[in-house]
Amino acid sequence: MDRRQFGLTGLALSAAAAVKPLPPLSPGIKISMQVNENVTNEELLWVQQMGIEYLNVQTGPGKATLDNFLAIKKRVEAAGLKVWNISNNDNRNIEEVTLNLPGRDGKIAWLKQYIRDTGKAGIGYITYAHMANGIWSSKGETTRGGAAARSFHLKDAKGFWNGKTYDQPLSHGRKYSKEELWENYTYFIKQIAPVAEEAGVRIGIHPDDPPVPELGGIPRHIFGTYDGYVKALEIANSPAIGVCLCCGTWMEGGKSTGKDVYEAVRGFAKMGKLWKIHFRNVTGPIPDFVETYIDNGYTDMYKLMRTLVEVDFRGNLIADHVPQMAAGRSNGWSYSMGYIRALHQAAKAELKK
């Protein structure tokens, strides 16, 4: 254990002693399907037929309300499934928060209510992302068999989020310093963490996608590197703040993240902070990559699944950014979810878990 990990462990223990502990996660990986709130009964049946028990549900603009959360949960449970989390694009990648722009406190107040409503609905987890200028991508790429897929090329990528577009060289009119971003993160997390603790909600923070050291004049040093995560968790000093490890994003960063994806899994798991996994593959690290099928990238996904089983990961795992196969959405997702379940079963069998 390095110095930061040791310090984080001590801080976590002191924080745990000061607040009501969060309910422990039950044993086993919760493999989950992503759907939107308008999921049909036929689609719910399809999820069941794949042997999946959990859903991650995306809500639309203005739909992040307690009444809607309760209605979604009731419908999902009536279909014999469980809700792991309910997301909304407004609850992450908030430029006012990341850059201290006008309206910051109003955005934080909204997010506090979102967390409280999540807890009241009996849902114990949300994902948050701290990107100031969105997810950056290039256009017009395909992967195996001509399937449409997201790509990134540093020379021509642009940022997108929630209807906004961001571009080089300066997405917000000037360069921002690392110190500014740390100050803004600290201001934010010190307000959010106590609300999450009180609500009984874990918050997993997603890596910057892609974790290029700087995009549009804004550093991506906090959630673009392993050391940045460790420092951010130390600052939060809360049992409610942890990691949503998008493995594909981590692979995008390559050596720039400081640890490969297997090391990151082990490190965050050892801290007790690993709560959600986005299980996907890419063709290579920055400056160029394409999101591809699980079995078609540069990372050994069986080794990754085996690592998750070895560390006794008990959180949620989803397929993510699945390439669009011919003949409809369900084909690509069925392929990915079946592959994930097979890897999981094989790893458990090998490790006798």
DSSP assignment of 7-75, as one string? HHHHHHHHHHHHSPPPPPPPSS-EEEEEEETT--HHHHHHHHHTT--EEEEEE-TT--SHHHHHHHHHH
Is residue 187 a part of any domain in this protein? yes
Is residue 41 a part of any domain in this protein? no
Predicted confidence (pLDDT) at residue 215 exceeds the cutoff of 50: yes
Quick one: pLDDT at residue 247?
Answer: 98
DSSP string spanning 221-233? -SSSSHHHHHHHH
3-state secondary structure of 259: coil
Q: How far apart are CA 252 and CA 157, in angstroms?
A: 14
Burial of 87: CB neighbours in 10 Å, binned 0-12, 13-18, 19+: buried
Predicted confidence (pLDDT) at residue 344 exceeds the cutoff of 50: yes
The answer to whether residues 165 and 158 touch, using CB atoms and an 8 Å cutoff, is: yes
3-state secondary structure of 268: helix
Q: Across the strands, what pairs with 143?
A: 147
CA angle 346–348–349, rounded 5-degree value: 65
The fraction of the chain above a pLDDT of 70, given in percent, is: 94
**Other beta carbons within 10 Å of 36:** 12
**Other beta carbons within 10 Å of 17:** 9
Q: Cα dihedral sign for 336, 338, 341, 347?
A: negative
> Which DSSP state fits 208?
P
**pLDDT band at residue 14, thresholds of 50, 70 and 90?**
very low
Strand order in the sheet with 125-129: 82-88, 54-59, 30-36, 316-319, 274-279, 241-246, 202-206, 125-129
Is residue 245 a part of any domain in this protein? yes
**Mean pLDDT computed over every residue of the chain:** 94
Is residue 209 a part of any domain in this protein? yes
Question: Looking at residues 150-173, what average pLDDT do you find?
Answer: 96
- Top-confidence residue, 246 or 12: 246
The fraction of the chain above a pLDDT of 90, given in percent, is: 91
Predicted confidence (pLDDT) at residue 328 exceeds the cutoff of 80: no
Question: Looking at residues 119-141, what average pLDDT do you find?
Answer: 96
Q: Which amino acid is at 344?
A: H
Is residue 86 a part of any domain in this protein? no
Question: Looking at residues 277-292, what average pLDDT do you find?
Answer: 97
Is residue 56 a part of any domain in this protein? no
Q: Tell me which residue range forms the domain holding 208.
A: 3-27+66-71+95-348
Quick one: pLDDT at residue 140?
Answer: 80
**pLDDT band at residue 8, thresholds of 50, 70 and 90?**
low
The answer to whether residues 140 and 215 touch, using CB atoms and an 8 Å cutoff, is: no
Helix (H) or strand (E) holding 242: strand 241-246
Question: Which residue matches tokens 């878990």?
Answer: 353
The answer to whether residues 178 and 219 touch, using CB atoms and an 8 Å cutoff, is: yes
Predicted confidence (pLDDT) at residue 1 exceeds the cutoff of 90: no
Predicted confidence (pLDDT) at residue 18 exceeds the cutoff of 60: no
User: pLDDT tens digits, residue range 48-67?
Assistant: 999 999 999 999 999 999 99
Predicted confidence (pLDDT) at residue 196 exceeds the cutoff of 50: yes
pTM score, whole prediction: 0.92
Lowest pLDDT segment from 18-27, 155-164, 200-209, 344-353: 18-27
Predicted confidence (pLDDT) at residue 19 exceeds the cutoff of 90: no
Quick one: pLDDT at residue 329?
Answer: 75
Is residue 116 a part of any domain in this protein? yes
Predicted confidence (pLDDT) at residue 338 exceeds the cutoff of 90: yes
Beta-carbon-side half-sphere exposure of residue 87 (alpha carbons within 13 Å): 19
CATH number of the domain encompassing residue 292: 3.20.20.150
Quick one: pLDDT at residue 21?
Answer: 78
Quick one: pLDDT at residue 20?
Answer: 64
Is residue 35 a part of any domain in this protein? no
Q: How far apart are CA 297 and CA 184, in angstroms?
A: 36
Predicted confidence (pLDDT) at residue 235 exceeds the cutoff of 70: yes
Residue 86 structure tokens: 């309910």
The count of domains in the chain is 1
